[in-house]
């Protein structure tokens, strides 16, 4: 038997203003909830150029080989276009290569990373597509680790790239690399000083990382993240000749008109109306935050869906909490029970406390 209990929460609305970009495709999304705050042709598939390297870096940081010393080999022979100009026989770590990949968009670095993480470039591309499938990036196909169109190119959408970046930013090593403005490196062959091509890191104080891209087919592509007051946003633009300004405007639009609310707190949660689980406390395992604006004029609806278990015991799942924005289900969280803790009466402590 299921029992449904309701709770209403009132939020104060904010003023909001319309915004537009010059991009062919664009998205502004909250990275914590994946809520889309601005959308323009977000599922239109096209060449994405060097923002493909977000996937290359993501796989590399997850490989747990970041501090492995590698010797550059013939895998870089076919590299052309933007590079960090490493040489065969040069020794450096995969972490070093990642800074060259993400700060300077080194195509040679992408081949060296692919070879040393997966054994070959072809194996690495297979891993890229496997990861895309795991992340449910339905409109994304990778043919190389760098985004060059002459190698068949990599194709994706603004939406898929926003999802990819949101997941990658959960990795602390990835996050550290993409926010770096300058990297110094000395190898057995050379000394490097790499400055980040992503100008937004210097133009916008809330920027936390990103990746630039350009090919003749893709035109200018750009991914950036920014954080302010616990609101963590990602912006993606494809074929945008005014991309840095558009990204700043998108972020300002988000920060000025949305606020992140913590709707659920992990831990014990009260359901006053319940009389079945009197000997238990309810609890949830995760927080839930969500950005809200005056599009949500007044109400968020919380539903508690309970199942009456015949033999309830601690840590048993007994239902779930559903969060609605109007008629739209925006989140579902599993609900558990735990035996209430009751303090045993001890005469010794009673006397001590009473006659202290």
Does residue 353 fall inside a structural domain?
Answer: no
Task: Answer yes or no: do 276 and 179 share one domain.
Answer: no
CA 308/CA 245 separation, integer angstroms: 55
Active site (annotated) includes residue 50: yes
Could you write out the DSSP letters of every residue in 89-150? Answer: T-EEEHHHHHHHHHHH--HHHHHHHHHHHHSSHHHHHHHHHHHHHHTT-TT-B-SSSS--GG
- Each residue of 205-216: pLDDT tens digit? 999 999 999 999
Residues 221 and 306 in one domain: no
Q: Are 200 and 88 members of one domain?
A: yes
- Region of 183 on the Ramachandran plot (φ > 0 left; ψ -120 to 50 alpha; else beta): beta
- Catalytic position from the list 25, 47, 50, 156: 50
The answer to whether position 350 is within a domain reads no
- Residue 17 domain-assigned (yes or no): no
Q: Give residues with Cβ within 8 angstroms of 346, minimum separation 6.
A: none
Query: What count of other Cβ atoms lies within 10 Å of the Cβ of residue 345?
Result: 7
Q: Catalytic residue among 25, 47, 52, 53, which?
A: 53
| 183 token code pair | 């990297």
CATH number at residue 105: 3.40.710.10
- Is 352 domain-assigned? no
> Are 78 and 110 within one domain?
yes
Torsion region of 311: left, alpha or beta (phi above 0 gives left; psi -120 to 50 gives alpha): beta
pLDDT tens digit at each of 356 positions of the chain: 455 454 444 433 333 336 899 999 999 999 999 999 999 999 999 999 999 999 999 999 999 999 999 999 999 998 999 999 999 999 999 999 999 999 999 999 999 999 999 999 999 999 999 999 999 999 999 999 999 998 789 999 999 999 999 999 999 999 999 999 999 999 999 999 999 999 999 999 999 999 999 999 999 999 999 999 999 999 999 999 999 999 999 999 999 999 999 999 999 998 877 889 989 999 999 999 999 987 785 779 999 999 999 999 999 999 999 999 999 999 999 999 999 876 554 555 545 554 44
Q: What is the CA radius of gyration of the chain?
A: 25
List, in sequence order, the alpha helices (H) in the chain: 53-62, 94-104, 107-118, 121-134, 158-168, 172-178, 200-203, 243-257, 347-354
Choose the final residue of a domain: 175, 210, 241.
Answer: 241
> Catalytic residue at 279?
no
Q: Which of helix, strand or coil describes residue 82?
A: coil
Q: Say if residue 230 is in the same domain as residue 270.
A: no
Do residues 8 and 33 both lie within one domain?
Answer: no
Same domain, 188 and 333: no
Residue 354 inside a domain? The answer is no
Same domain (yes/no): 85, 213: yes
Q: Is 75 helix (H, G, I), strand (E, B) or coil?
A: helix
Rounded to whole angstroms, the Cα distance separating 16 from 257 reads: 5
Regarding whether 279 and 210 lie in a shared domain, the answer is: no
Spatial distance between the Cα atoms of 1 and 308, rounded to a whole number of angstroms: 6
Strand partners, 92: 70
Q: Say yes or no: 221 and 289 in one domain.
A: no
The residue segments making up the domain with residue 110 are: 25-241
In a domain, 266, yes or no: yes
**Whole-number pLDDT of residue 204:** 98
Domain count, the chain: 2
- Please confirm, yes or no, whether 245 is among the known catalytic residues: no
Task: Please check whether residue 255 lies inside any domain of the structure.
Answer: no
Question: Do 236 and 309 belong together in one domain?
Answer: no
345 in any annotated domain: no
Q: Of the residues 79, 82, 105, 156, which is catalytic?
A: 105
Same domain, 281 and 169: no
Q: What is the CATH number of the domain that holds 287?
A: 2.60.410
Whether the Cβ atoms of residue 48 and residue 54 lie closer than 8 Å to each other:
no
């Amino acid at each position: 038997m299921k029992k449904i209990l309701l709770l209403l929460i009132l939020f104060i609305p904010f003023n909001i203003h319309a915004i537009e970009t010059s991009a062919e495709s664009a998205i502004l999304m909250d990275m914590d909830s994946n809520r889309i705050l601005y959308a323009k042709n977000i599922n239109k598939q096209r060449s994405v150029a060097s923002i493909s390297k977000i996937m290359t870096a993501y796989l590399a940081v997850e490989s747990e080989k970041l501090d492995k010393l590698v010797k550059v080999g013939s895998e870089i022979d076919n590299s052309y276009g933007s590079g960090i100009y490493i040489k065969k026989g040069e020794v450096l770590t995969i972490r070093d290569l990642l800074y060259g990949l993400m700060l300077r968009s080194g195509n040679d670095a992408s081949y060296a990373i692919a070879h040393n993480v997966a054994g070959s470039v072809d194996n690495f591309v297979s891993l890229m597509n496997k990861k895309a499938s795991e992340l449910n990036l339905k409109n994304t196909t990778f043919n190389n680790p760098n985004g060059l169109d002459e190698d068949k190119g990599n194709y994706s959408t603004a939406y898929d790239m926003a999802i990819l970046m949101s997941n990658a930013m959960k990795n602390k090593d990835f996050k550290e690399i993409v926010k770096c403005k300058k990297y110094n490196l000395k190898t057995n062959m050379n000394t490097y000083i790499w400055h980040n091509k992503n100008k937004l890191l210097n133009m916008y104080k809330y920027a936390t990382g990103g990746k630039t891209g350009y090919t003749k087919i893709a035109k200018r592509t750009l991914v950036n993240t920014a954080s302010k007051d616990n609101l963590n946003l990602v912006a993606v633009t494809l074929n945008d000749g005014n991309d840095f300004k558009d990204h700043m405007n998108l972020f300002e639009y988000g920060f000025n008109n949305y606020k992140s609310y913590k709707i659920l707190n992990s831990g014990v949660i009260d359901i006053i109306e319940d009389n079945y689980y009197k000997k238990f406390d309810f609890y949830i395992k995760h927080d839930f935050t969500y950005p809200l604006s005056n599009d949500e004029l007044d109400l968020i609806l919380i539903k508690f869906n309970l199942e009456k278990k015949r033999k309830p015991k601690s840590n048993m799942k007994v239902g779930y909490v559903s969060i609605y924005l109007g008629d739209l289900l925006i989140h579902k969280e599993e609900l558990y029970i735990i035996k209430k803790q009751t303090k045993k009466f001890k005469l010794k402590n009673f006397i001590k406390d009473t006659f202290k």
